C-alpha cells in the first residue's frame, strides 16, 4: 500500500477514535527543564487531535511571525497554534524555546504522532514541525511557501534533523 494511502487510512482511523472518545483535555505542563522519565507513548486522544488539526492546516500560507490560519504561519507559530487550539496547551513561541520544553527526547525510530521534530545545525535549533506518522511531519517551511507535509527521509531534513520531543 502506498505511503499516502496508509497515511489516509491512519487519519481515517484516528478520526474514528476521536469520535468515540470522551476523554477530557489535560492541564498545561511545565515548559522548561530536563526530563528524566522513561519514554512513553503520547496520549492517543491528544496526539490524534493535534495530528488532524495540523494536517488540516496544510496549504495555509507561510508568514514570518504568523500564528493564525488567517495571518499565516511560521514554523513555531504553527506548532503553538495547533497545541493551543486543540488542547489549550500553551507552548513557548520560538523553535529554540520549544526545543527546551520539558519532555522526553525521542529517538527517530520511537516517534509518535504529535511529537515535535526539530532541525538545525549543531546546537542551534532553527526549525520545528509536528510529526504525524509514517515518517512524515507538518511544518511551515519558508517565505513564499505554505504549510506542508514532508518526509523526514528527505535528504535536506535528514541532514538538519536535531531531535524530537514528546510534550503530550
Per-residue cell: 145: 511557501
Active site residue 127: yes
Instruction: State the catalytic residue, choosing from 9, 20, 127, 160.
Output: 127
Catalytic residue of the set 9, 20, 75, 160? 75
Q: At what angle do helices 44-56 and 75-87 cross, to 10 degrees?
A: 130
Catalytic residue among 9, 20, 139, 160: 139
Catalytic residues: 75, 127, 139
Amino acid at each position: 500500500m502506498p505511503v499516502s494511502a496508509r497515511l489516509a487510512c491512519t487519519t481515517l482511523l484516528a478520526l474514528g477514535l476521536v469520535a468515540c472518545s470522551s476523554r477530557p483535555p489535560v492541564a498545561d505542563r511545565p515548559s522548561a527543564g530536563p526530563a528524566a522519565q522513561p519514554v512513553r507513548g503520547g496520549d492517543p486522544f491528544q496526539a490524534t487531535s493535534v495530528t488532524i488539526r495540523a494536517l488540516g492546516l496544510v496549504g495555509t500560507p507561510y508568514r514570518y511571525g504568523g500564528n493564525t490560519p488567517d495571518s499565516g504561519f511560521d514554523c513555531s507559530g504553527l506548532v503553538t497554534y495547533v497545541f493551543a487550539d486543540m488542547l489549550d496547551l500553551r507552548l513557548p513561541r520560538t523553535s529554540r524555546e520549544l526545543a527546551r520544553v520539558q519532555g522526553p527526547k525521542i529517538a527517530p525510530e520511537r516517534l509518535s504522532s504529535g511529537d515535535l521534530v526539530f532541525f538545525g545545525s549543531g546546537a542551534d535549533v532553527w526549525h520545528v514541525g509536528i510529526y504525524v506518522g509514517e515518517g512524515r511531519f507538518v511544518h511551515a517551511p519558508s517565505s513564499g511557501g505554505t504549510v506542508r507535509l514532508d518526509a523526514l527521509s528527505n535528504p535536506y531534513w535528514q541532514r538538519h534533523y536535531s531531535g524530537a520531543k514528546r510534550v503530550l
